[in-house]
Chains A and B, each alone.
Chain A
Amino acid sequence: MSISRREFLKLTGGSATAAAMLAQLGYLPPALAQDVTNITFGGWGGVAEDEGVKAAIEVFEAENEDIDVEWLHTPSAGDYGRVLLSSIAAGTAPDTGFILSDNYETLAVGGALMDITDLVKNDPLLGQPGYFLEPQEANRCEVNGRWYGIGSTWVAHHFYYNAEMFEAEGITPPGFQDDEIWEWDEFLEVCRAFTKDSAGRHPGDAGFDSDDIVQWGVDWPFWWMPLGLAAHANGGEFLTEDGLIGLDSPEAMEGLQRITDLVHEHHVAPRGAALASLGMNNTQMVDSGRLAMAVDGSWALSWMNPSLMSVAMGTGALPKMQKPASIMQAHFHSVLAGTEHPEEAWRWVRFLATPFYQEHFCKIGLWIPNQQAMLTEEGLKGWIREGIHPPNYSQFATDYLPKHGVAVAIPPGYIEAANDYINPAFEGLANGERAEDIMPDAVRAANEVLTAAKEDM
């Protein structure tokens, strides 16, 4: 079939008009300037993350005029994970993106992420020994000895407490220095002192009604970070050296049992405040004096902070059982293996591992630096803010975490093992079942999943 010249012009003219109309409707990207490389950056986040990324892009583009970064913002992390998998399957993955810590290894081993080991090691800044907090950074980034991403930050659990309640009871709150960390029994005594039923009786008093408590000592949530750290604090392990779940060792189970006992044995913690993801959070309970201490992640400082709470508040380390411990993790920034612009993509990911981007989030209480330079006296000035960070907070980043922080590398298959076996077991603990009754079976089944996933790789 031959097409006459006139018809050809009509066709092309028509499609040009159509293209213009479509562009008008926002269907087509605007034409690119010739010498600028456009790279995409996928990620999730709420208001804070969205604004932080936009600010970072602005600074980066001003410094790198040959690169245009397009922020593809999928609101929730769960949806982002699904969209990322779909687009990898369709061959349309972004050039760079956030990677959740729980499937970082899966994606790395599966070939979805670019190997950046040499780029990191040879980088004049990032390659310097001691640039990152080590060995924690290497622990999480290395998969079979290679780097496929750089950690965005660190987050870990600690206490948030109502300082006015402590003052009223004449109790000294815990701090982050080794000699300010409570022994477990000390902690229990404090919890009992704060817990009251409506008649003002404490647990252990005659006639104490555990169904009618109006004020609690502590809220300790039942999910993997706060429970996993209990295993470490009692001398056990959440994840073992060979990437299996270690929550069935006697030490780990005893650690878990201590948390369950807070609710069901000692009656010093509320039931059912665990639905943090749906807003039944502890913030309001601490603020209104119904709860003396909340165990929560460091990110919660972005809303549980002196300027947003109506009562005086403070932060401190969790009690030790055998030793102090808190689990550290966070998402990664990676270059996707399918990118056509590996060099530009690396420059952007590298920029995200320099102080500007991290400071933005540290300043609002959401993040804790993973860069040593930000932990020096000079570096702290860049992000510690009065009104957000309580006076002792910098010690959590400079003293506590380097000594007692446990960085975990989450193995392939973990999400399935957690959904199918470990989370239901945690819910059993929350309901008062005994760790020794439910953990061994759950861990065995979960480790079968992990072993199979490892064999698949």
Chain B
Amino acid sequence: MGFSEKSADFVESRRSPKSYGDIFFHWLTVFLLVFFAVVMVTPFIWLLSSSLKTQINIFQYPPQLIPDPFVPENYVYALTYKPFGIYFRNTVLVAGLNVVAVVFTSSFCAYGFARMRFPGRDFWFGIVMATLFLPYAVLLVPSFIVFSRLGWVDTFLPLVVPPFFGGGAFNIFLMRQFFRTIPEEIADAARIDGCSEFGVYWRVMLPLSKPALITIGIFTFLFAWNDLIGPITYLRSPDNFTIAVGLASFRSQTDISWDLQLAASTAVTLPVIVLFFFAQRYFIQGVVMTGLKG
């Protein structure tokens, strides 16, 4: 990206800049945007470049940007060594169910905490927060025993059922905060029109919270996509493995096949990047548009 005169239309302003201050501010923003983009993209470039190198060239010093030799076969070998097709299907199933569960049940619970007044609400919200305080490490084995007794080990159930129960404290808290930024008048107007509380939640609050819902959807998907501890603890048969387990299988106790590991890491990251690229469009269609109609 150059900074020639042509790139002036890079900045798409609603009005033409009025003062020197505005012009300065525009170019400062462009500069910072590009500067931090370089900082943020460097690791991914490194990942991409390393994934196309031989094992021995990955840690060469000074580092090579363009791999020589260029080894696209890493991808072929990495993605056929384990049945990534099956892993992909499993992961999409688990992540998809998690997203559905979290988006609906956490917003549902959050509506109660944010918008209803009833005795015990603050006590229960305290409990919501409290579930964040105990580390995962100490709950892991007792939970494993519970799921073993239920006969759920080596099924997806331990990974997909719990999210349907409120979707986790993080998401409830996040949705609660977002709901509380929406003016009460909008909800009251709907109530006067005869909406029930469920109607206010479903027809008013959810549409107004698209950016927040997209946010928790992305987080949930990403977490389920990259989670290793859950699948490794609960899944046994190779046919049930998820992508994260497949990725980890390139490491042994003593040796790591870096070339394959990085090729596989890059490959499984791409779908998420594409997903995010498209999902982020919804960040401009929240209250900005619909809210003012209300």
Contact = CB atoms under 8 A, between A and B. Distances in A.
The short answer to whether A and B are in direct contact, CB under 8 Å, is yes
A187 interface: no
A203 B233 CA distance: 52
Interface stretch (B109-117, B208-216, B256-264): B256-264
Nearest to B142: A89
Interface string B229-258: 100110011111000010011111111111
Contacts of B156: 27
A75 B251 CA distance: 7
A40 to B, nearest CB: 8
Contact of A50 (B144, B249, B253): B249
A130 interface: no
B240 A45 contact: no
B52 interface: no
A308 B144 CA distance: 43
Interface in A31-80: 44-50, 72-77, 79
B251 A92 contact: no
Contacts of B255: 46, 48, 299-300, 302-303, 366
Contacts of B229: 79
A283 interface: yes
B240 A26 contact: yes
Contact of B252 (A49, A85, A309): A49
Interface size grouping (class) on chain A: 35 or more
Contact of A27 (B155, B232, B249, B251): B155
B141 A89 contact: yes
Interface centre among B140, B249, B253, B257 (most CB of A within 10 A): B253
A390 to B, nearest CB: 18
B202 to A, nearest CB: 31
A83 B59 CA distance: 32
A26 B149 CA distance: 19
Contacts of A27: 154-156
Interface in A1-51: 22, 26-27, 29, 44-50
A308 B256 CA distance: 15
B288 to A, nearest CB: 42
Contact of B56 (A46, A83, A308): A308
Identify the interface centre among A29, A76, A302: most chain B CB within 10 Å of its CB: A76
The 7 closest A-B pairs by CB, nearest first: A46-B252, A75-B248, A90-B148, A77-B253, A75-B249, A299-B254, A86-B144
A310 B56 contact: yes
Contacts of A86: 140-141, 144-145, 233
A288 B60 contact: yes
B60 A284 contact: yes
Contact of B232 (A48, A75, A85, A300): A75
A283 B57 CA distance: 10
B153 interface: yes
A75 B245 contact: yes
B100 to A, nearest CB: 17
A366 B111 CA distance: 58
B85 to A, nearest CB: 13
Given A86-B233, A89-B141, A92-B148, A73 B253 contact: no
A26 B59 contact: no
B257 A46 contact: yes
Contacts of B56: 283-284, 287, 308-310
Interface of B: 55-61, 81, 140-141, 144-145, 148-149, 153-156, 228-229, 232-233, 236-240, 245, 248-258, 260
A426 B238 CA distance: 39
5 contacts: A44-B253, A86-B141, A284-B58, A284-B61, A303-B55
A288 B251 CA distance: 24
A170 interface: no
Contact of A297 (B55, B154, B254): B254
Interface in A262-313: 279-281, 283-284, 287-288, 290, 297, 299-300, 302-303, 308-310
B59 A73 contact: no
Given A280-B59, A303-B55, A48 B252 contact: yes
Contact of A79 (B58, B144, B232): B232
A91 interface: yes
Contacts of B248: 75-76, 79
Contact of A284 (B59, B145, B237, B249): B59
Contacts of B253: 44-45, 76-77, 331
A46 B141 contact: no
Contacts of A90: 144-145, 148-149, 153
Interface in A79-98: 79, 82-83, 85-87, 89-92
A281 B254 contact: no
Contact of B250 (A46, A72, A287, A300): A46
A283 to B, nearest CB: 6
B58 to A, nearest CB: 7
Nearest to A26: B239
B236 A72 contact: yes
Nearest to A297: B254
B263 to A, nearest CB: 13
A46 B249 contact: yes
A141 B61 CA distance: 44
Contacts of A331: 253
A154 B140 CA distance: 34
B60 to A, nearest CB: 6
